Amino acid sequence: MNSMTLVKIATKSIRKNKMRTLLTMLGIIIGVAAVLVMVAIGLGAREQIASQINGLGTNLIVVTPGSSNRGGVSGGAGSFNRLSIDDWEKIQNESLTISGSSPVVITRTQAVGGQGNWRTMINGVTADYPLIRNWRVSSGSFFDEADLRQIRKVAVIGATVAENLFPGEDPVGQQIRLRDVPFQIIGVLEEKGQTAEGTNQDDVIIAPWTTVQTRLSGWNFIAQILVSTPTPSAIPAAQEEIRLIMRESHNLASYDDDDFTIRNQSDLADAAQGTTEVMSLLLAAIASISLLVGGIGIMNIMLVSVTERTREIGIRMAVGARGGDVLTQFLVEAIVMSLLGGALGVLIGYAATRIVHNATGWSTAISPGTVVVALVFSAAVGIFFGFYPAKKAAALNPIEALRYE
């Protein structure tokens, strides 16, 4: 008996009891749909995180204070601050592998001007900052080296600050006060959105680091150093070079641990995506329980089918069908039922994914590979749970089967 004939017989048998078949396939349908939705949300989250990490800058390397080992205890990044302007100047002057660098002097204060006030973060940086962060201005211009040298009170504001202080108008050329120090707005940054951690990147004011340190912060230590490389392939060499420069700057002996942390975009992406992957796997595992339940349902209904069709099996064997033929027939029925359930589950899963995206705004992504895996898995469920009933049908004694009432 060829494959097409087996499929036709299986389809005909399934169609005899449409409602029972649909209820049997329900577990497979729900399982495949749920897994598809969970995987789509997970893939969408990963793509969104990757986009956000790439939006942090061009071939970005971040140097932060901390990660010192004291008394056998690792403090972690940011726990012990020895990062200074001298460290940045040493990297800027001695590194041969970087294309740009900037210290980041951070402080928070109330910005007053325009139509109100807004508490926000002030970042003191260099003129290389737009290149490092791949962040252009949508209006006006960025400050230059002359502004840094002359400690000018100029600022470039983020889209969120502009929206709250100057709603509906162009703030370029206007003034704001930061801790009673007047700053002239010379530019507005393009909208960046949130980071992978949920921080609003547009809620910021950028100014020359010389001005922020002398007029607003007063701290000798800085929050971080941002560095960019010409190409992604240059990142590992630049990281090692920066590490050696930093160790020399901090007078660390060969047996001393680093008292700073160096990370690149890949490190940041891995850290952000680790939690997402674990959560996606957990949700997919929970959704897979429906597939298990669906498989058990298929096995039960196939056992019922074997009982109902005992005389039919006896007749087939009496006219020459072998046990292997009967086993194959029932196995094909289970597979066809599972594939139909899987196909319906894919359609429902796709529709549910669109609903989730439209209702919540979450990023979702369904890859062709996911659909193929879902269908293959549903077929595998049919084979696994359909084998026992099929084997039981093939093992029937033809004479006893013919006598069955």
What confidence score (pLDDT) does residue 74 get? 44
Which sign, positive or negative, has the C-alpha torsion 56, 62, 64, 70? Answer: positive
What confidence score (pLDDT) does residue 349 get? 87
What confidence score (pLDDT) does residue 70 get? 45
Q: Is residue 235 part of a domain?
A: no
Question: What stretch of H or E contains 176?
Answer: strand 175-178
Residue of 344, 348, 334, 349 whose CA lies nearest to 379: 334
Q: Is residue 112 part of a domain?
A: no
Q: Is residue 373 part of a domain?
A: yes
User: What are phi and psi for residue 77, nearest 5 degrees?
Assistant: -60, 135
190: DSSP letter:
P
What confidence score (pLDDT) does residue 405 get? 55
Which residues 6+ apart lie within 8 Å of 57 measured at CB? 132, 133, 134, 135, 226, 228, 265
Number of domains in the chain: 1
Digitized pLDDT (tens) for each residue of the chain, 405 residues in all: 556 666 676 677 667 777 777 777 787 888 888 888 877 877 777 666 666 655 555 688 999 997 644 444 444 444 456 789 999 999 999 999 999 999 999 999 999 988 889 999 999 999 999 989 888 999 999 999 999 999 999 999 999 999 999 998 889 999 999 998 999 999 999 988 776 566 788 999 999 999 999 999 877 789 999 999 988 888 889 999 999 999 999 999 888 889 899 988 766 556 555 556 666 677 667 666 767 777 787 787 777 777 777 777 777 777 766 777 777 777 777 788 888 888 888 899 889 888 888 887 777 877 787 788 778 877 888 788 778 777 877 777 666 666 655
Cα–Cα distances (Å) from 306 to 20, 75, 297, in that order, read 15, 66, 14
What confidence score (pLDDT) does residue 398 get? 66
Q: Is residue 221 part of a domain?
A: no
Six-digit token pair at 308? 């109902």
Q: Is residue 95 part of a domain?
A: no
Q: Is the pTM of this model over 0.85?
A: no
Range of the domain at 373: 3-52+273-403
Judge residue 19's burial from the number of C-beta atoms within 10 Å of its C-beta, 0-12 exposed, 13-18 middle, 19 or more buried: exposed
Q: Is residue 97 part of a domain?
A: no
Q: Is residue 154 part of a domain?
A: no
Q: Is residue 386 part of a domain?
A: yes
